[in-house]
Amino acid sequence: MAEFTMDLNDEQKEVRDWLHGFAADVIRPAAAEWDEREETPWPVIQEAAKLGIYSLDFYAQQFFDPSGLGIPMAMEELFWGDAGIALSIVGTGLAAVGVLANGTEEQIGTWIPQMYGDVNDVKVAAFCSSEPDAGSDVAAMRTRAVYDEAKDEWVLNGTKTWATNGGIANVHVVVASVDPALGSKGHASFIVPPNTPGLSQGQKFKKHGIRASHTAEVVLENVRVPGSCLLGGKDKLDERLARSREKAQKGGERVKNAAMATFEASRPAVGAMAVGTARAAYEEALEYAKTREQFGRPIIDNQGVAFQLADMRTSIDAARLLVWRASWMATTGKKFENAEGSMSKLFASETAKKVTAQAVQILGGNGFTREYPVERMHRDAAIYTIFEGTSEIQRLVIARTLSGMPIR
């Protein structure tokens, strides 16, 4: 088991510097344009693919880093460049994690490569869990999956919302209810292969931030997928459902559902994204404070500004520590006995919102204009306290974990 350390080895430092260079030279120059266009930045994704950043091999290398720091380090650097473009580059990863967390070896080998495509034909994937009436309350999910035993097919019906890459994805991973009576314990995840009849894109959302990332509804109308597209297989599902029914009759115990398994694995990574955005805003504010003069001296000489910058840097470093700890724990198989994954996501996302707001304040009127990137960073940061579990839900998870109450 790898010991927890804050010291990156030479290989990790090389990867970090490589990603930082890509973020500085490719992502940042394109950020304002794609934010205004509110479109998927395919040329940037293509460039990332050419360099090997947008690829299964790259994310596998980071995912299996024995220290656990590969993924958070990568996320921080890419999101330091720009949150919207970075999410377009890494959004496929959530669907891939869904398959890794719940799929068989055969399913992992079959579907994850199709999520990325190749250098000459780049693809993206989508993870579809939230619904118009089921966001934080996953037990309220209405999308249904019914098994057609005669054809060995699952029939999916429902509407998903807030799906990154929804509708434009080559592969969709869809969470659906197979036993509504069990609530969230009756959920399962399904692969919807490319060009499957019945799947269509609904409304594309025009968002406050992360505008370069495609977010849309996904509509499923009698979507039929082979039995082999049930992640984990039917035997495993039947066993899990039987245990859940038995435990429900005895008063209930906590059973991990498919969507929760994906979110637990990805929350520290989201925290790393927030750290990247916060760090970018802090660096902009620091440089501005050192060069902007008022009353004959740089504004950083004023305690009101200097103390804000001190607090910003302290919060960013604390957030990174929580994210790295949670990532190390997940990789080394340590249980989140105190909801450390949710802690990391909660603190990092709240830090990003606060730090970007402080950056706007330090830049004053300039910070309120699109001529300076902190305005965009402030808009982008708002998403971190919302997606993959709101801050309120993170606090609920932490509180229930500490108290020993079940997490539903």
Number of neighbouring beta carbons within 10 Å of residue 365: 8
- The answer to whether 162 and 129 are in contact (CB under 8 A) is no
Q: CA-CA distance, 72 to 94, in Å (whole number)?
A: 14
Q: Which helix (H) or strand (E) holds 203?
A: strand 199-204
What is the Cα 29 distance to its own chain's centre? Answer: 23
Ordered alpha helix ranges (H), 187-295: 234-249, 258-291
Contact 378, 359 (CB under 8 A): yes
Extract the tokens encoding 205: 């959302």
Distance CA 280, CA 306 (A): 17
Q: Both tokens of residue 406?
A: 């079940």
Structure tokens that stand for 398 in this block: 């932490």
Judge contact between 338 and 325, C-beta under 8 A.
Answer: no
**CB under 8 Å to 158, separation ≥6 — which residues?**
131, 141, 142, 143, 144, 176, 220
CA 157 to chain centre: 25
Alpha-carbon distance values, 357 to 65, 303, 308, 350 (Å): 34, 18, 11, 11
Residues 99 and 107: beta-carbon distance below 8 Å = yes
Instruction: Report the Cα 384 to chain-centroid distance in Å.
Output: 9
Neighbours of 283 (CB within 10 A): 15
Locus of tokens 């098994």 = 147
Q: Which of 131, 350, 375, 388 is catalytic?
A: 388
Question: Is the Cβ–Cβ distance between 114 and 147 less than 8 Å?
Answer: no
- CA 107 to chain CA mean position, Å: 22
Residue 287 falls in the annotated catalytic set? no
Q: Which residues are catalytic?
A: 388
